[in-house]
């Protein structure tokens, strides 16, 4: 079972692709000029409509990257993955939007707003330390009236039965979970509001547990818009909730055929879609583009399972002192054999090793270096002791540098658009 608040059982990523209709990311990899290491290594395993983002990057068109963090516990390396993806997309030309989900932490986890602000600012400083640039829009949900107002509008387009189907809600589920789910949808759609330049491609990098929010938001996108599209030969079929508005489409510079209930528009699909979204804005609509998303694998906890802020024994925090972090890493599960002799003979199993995962996800950028470590492990040439020693050195180096950059970030906060 996977929901935004609970994960049970062993995660089968192939099954997730099939059951939730997520497309494998590998099919797009060759279309990206300089893919992030998480993409190259299959750690980002799935997507929805990421082709929109690739197209925007290639054409140097406006796009945005949006994700958020619930400030309910210590910031750890699982959060760092999402932060790295936000920073990478910003560097590739996207406008970055970051939500600190203090309303969710308050309503679902019971934390005071004072506490969520304290934790949330730790997330903000780490994001800046990891390279977030100051044209990003960072906000706490409780202080963002645009998001709250949009969530109010979205609430008219969804019912309790749909919430049950998407999130698995039961009769005793608090309404607060439905409420914060609509806040999350508003977070995702906010970059497309007129205040931020109107409709654009938006990518949301998340773990698979957050996919219910994307499914809900994509459904709501179609319902909020005045016009909906369906591809036909040589064009688009356009429908509207308000049929009288279909006549407006005939005024556009495209060949059109009017039918009862829809209009067929012929020409270049992307140009037609753009023109109709501009028309919708003039008519007072939103013109939302369905959000794209990418999904990364969960970071394995030090003792197995998923790394989680609610389980201190499972994570290494970005705020840990190096000696504390190294002690945790040395006690982490590995893919080593029962004895050194057996490992020399059979080799290790890096696919089961938390330490190797740290290399792949966070500590080593160079693919050849990572491949060498894997080969040394599987051949039995390198034992767990020397492997952990090398990983510890890299971890110490990262944490020291991150602390220095966090200290610098403290003085940069005033350069950012920060709503808190």
Q: What is the CATH classification number for the domain harbouring 341?
A: 1.10.240.10
Of 342, 358, 420, 350, nearest to 393 (Cα)?
358
Helix (H, G, I), strand (E, B) or coil at 292: strand
Q: Are residues 65 and 213 in the same domain?
A: yes
Q: Are residues 90 and 43 in the same domain?
A: yes
Q: Is residue 72 part of a domain?
A: yes
Q: Are residues 115 and 264 in the same domain?
A: no
Q: Is residue 310 part of a domain?
A: no
Residue 238, domain extent = 227-282
What is the spatial distance between Cα 177 and Cα 212, in angstroms, rounded to a whole number? 12
Question: Which CATH number goes with the domain that contains 164?
Answer: 3.40.50.620
Q: Are residues 173 and 34 in the same domain?
A: yes
Residue 320: DSSP 8-state: S
The strand pairing partners of 99, in sequence order, are 68, 139
Tell me the pTM: 0.92
Q: Are residues 402 and 348 in the same domain?
A: yes
Q: Are residues 31 and 14 in the same domain?
A: yes
Q: Are residues 215 and 275 in the same domain?
A: no
398-417 burial: b if 16+ Cβ within 10 Å, else e: bbeebbebbeebeeeeeebe
Q: Are residues 177 and 77 in the same domain?
A: yes
Q: Is residue 368 part of a domain?
A: yes
What is the spatial distance between Cα 55 and Cα 51, in angstroms, rounded to a whole number? 6
Q: Is residue 20 part of a domain?
A: yes
The pLDDT, as a whole number, for residue 190 is: 98
Q: Are residues 343 and 383 in the same domain?
A: yes
Q: Is residue 307 part of a domain?
A: no
Q: Is residue 308 part of a domain?
A: no
Q: Are residues 136 and 148 in the same domain?
A: yes
Question: Mind listing the pLDDT tens digit of every residue in the chain (420 residues)?
Answer: 555 555 555 567 788 787 888 999 999 999 999 999 999 999 999 999 999 999 999 999 999 999 999 999 999 999 999 999 999 999 999 999 999 999 999 999 999 999 999 999 999 999 999 999 999 999 999 999 999 999 999 999 999 999 999 988 888 889 999 999 999 999 999 999 999 999 999 999 999 889 999 999 999 998 999 999 999 999 999 999 888 899 999 888 899 999 989 999 999 999 999 999 999 999 999 999 999 999 999 888 888 777 777 677 789 999 999 999 999 999 888 888 888 888 888 888 999 899 999 999 999 999 999 999 999 999 999 999 999 999 999 999 999 999 999 999 999 999 999 998
Q: Are residues 152 and 32 in the same domain?
A: yes
Beta strands in 49-130 (DSSP E): 63-69, 95-100
Q: Is residue 359 part of a domain?
A: yes
Q: Is residue 232 part of a domain?
A: yes
Look at the chain and report how many structural domains it folds into.
Answer: 3
Q: Are residues 276 and 141 in the same domain?
A: no
Q: Is the dihedral of CA 101, 103, 104, 106 positive or negative?
A: positive
What is the spatial distance between Cα 87 and Cα 65, in angstroms, rounded to a whole number? 9
The pLDDT, as a whole number, for residue 298 is: 85
Of 386, 372, 298, 311, nearest to 343 (Cα)?
386
């Amino acid at each position: 079972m996977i929901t935004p608040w609970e994960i049970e059982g062993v995660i089968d990523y192939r099954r997730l692709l099939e059951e939730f209709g997520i497309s494998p990311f590998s099919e797009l990899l060759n279309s990206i000029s300089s893919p992030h290491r998480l993409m190259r290594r299959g750690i980002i395993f799935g997507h929805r409509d990421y082709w929109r983002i690739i197209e925007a990057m290639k054409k140097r068109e406006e796009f945005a990257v949006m994700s958020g963090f619930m400030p309910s516990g210590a910031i750890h390396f699982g959060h760092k993955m999402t932060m790295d993806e936000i920073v990478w997309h910003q560097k590739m030309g996207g406008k970055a939007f970051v939500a600190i989900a203090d309303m969710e932490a308050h309503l679902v986890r019971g934390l005071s707003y004072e506490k969520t602000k304290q934790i949330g600012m730790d997330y903000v400083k780490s994001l800046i330390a990891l390279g977030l640039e100051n044209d990003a829009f960072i906000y706490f949900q409780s202080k963002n009236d645009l998001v709250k107002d949009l969530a109010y509008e979205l609430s008219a387009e969804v019912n309790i039965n749909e919430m049950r189907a998407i999130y698995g809600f039961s009769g005793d589920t608090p309404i607060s979970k439905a409420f914060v789910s609509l806040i999350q949808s508003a977070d995702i759609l906010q970059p497309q509001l007129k205040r931020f330049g109107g409709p654009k491609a938006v990518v949301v990098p998340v773990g698979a547990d957050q996919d219910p929010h994307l499914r809900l938001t994509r459904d709501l996108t179609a319902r909020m818009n005045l016009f909906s599209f369906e591809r036909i030969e040589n064009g688009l079929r356009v429908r509207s909730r308000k049929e009288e508005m279909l006549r407006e489409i005939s005024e556009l510079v495209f060949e059109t055929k009017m039918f009862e209930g829809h209009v067929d528009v012929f020409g270049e699909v992307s140009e037609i879609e753009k023109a109709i979204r501009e028309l919708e804005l003039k008519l007072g609509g939103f013109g939302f583009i369905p959000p794209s998303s990418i999904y990364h694998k969960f970071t394995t906890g030090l003792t197995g399972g998923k790394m989680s802020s609610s389980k201190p024994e499972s994570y290494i925090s970005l705020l840990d002192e190096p000696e504390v972090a190294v002690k945790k890493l040395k006690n982490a599960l590995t893919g080593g054999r029962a004895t050194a002799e057996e490992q020399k003979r059979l080799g290790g199993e890096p696919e089961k090793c938390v330490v190797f995962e740290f290399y792949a996800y966070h500590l080593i950028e160079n693919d050849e270096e990572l491949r060498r470590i894997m080969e040394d492990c599987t051949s039995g040439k390198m034992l767990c002791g020397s492997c952990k020693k090398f990983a510890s050195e890299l971890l110490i180096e990262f944490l020291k540098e991150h602390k220095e950059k966090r200290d610098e970030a403290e003085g940069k906060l005033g350069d950012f658009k920060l709503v808190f």
